[in-house]
Amino acid sequence: MSFYEKYQRAWDEQDIGALLELYHPDYKRIFHATGKEQGFDELEDIMTRWLMGTQRNQRRCLYENSEIVVEHFIAEFQDNTTEAVLTVHLLKDGLLWRTETGATPLFTKA
């Protein structure tokens, strides 16, 4: 099973433990729009909220090898906003090490 498939399975099953096992202890997430960074110590709370409150639709892996995963999906959030999200994950030791996201607002549901 590819790394991307493992990640999607953990997401679909809302298994926060399985999801966190895919992250390197030195992990950092960088938000493209703000430059804000989040580390591994912030992941559990954030990922739990995202798992419960975000629908990831039209998901696809654009590219994957042992060093990088590039994915695209449409995110529908609890606040009724929708974004097209492009995510680049760098892998280290077979785990997510760095992530940078770019998101484009699409529309707001009524």
Instruction: Give CA–CA dist 92/106, Å, rounded.
Output: 33
Parent domain of 31: 3-108
Q: How much is the pLDDT for 110?
A: 59
Q: How much is the pLDDT for 109?
A: 59
Q: Are 79 and 55 in contact (CB under 8 A)?
A: no
- Number of domain units in the chain: 1
CATH number of the domain that residue 43 is part of = 3.10.450.50
pLDDT tens-digit series, residues 2-52: 999 999 999 999 899 999 999 999 999 988 778 788 888 887 787 777 777
Residue identified by tokens 């990922």 is 47
Q: Which of 38-47, 58-67, 92-101 has the lowest mean pLDDT?
A: 38-47
Residue identified by tokens 């060093």 is 67
Q: How far apart are the first and last CA of the chain?
A: 39
Question: What percent of the chain stands above pLDDT 90?
Answer: 60
Q: How much is the pLDDT for 3?
A: 96
Q: What is the pTM of this model?
A: 0.85
CA distances from 30 to 5, 13, 55 (A): 22, 25, 21
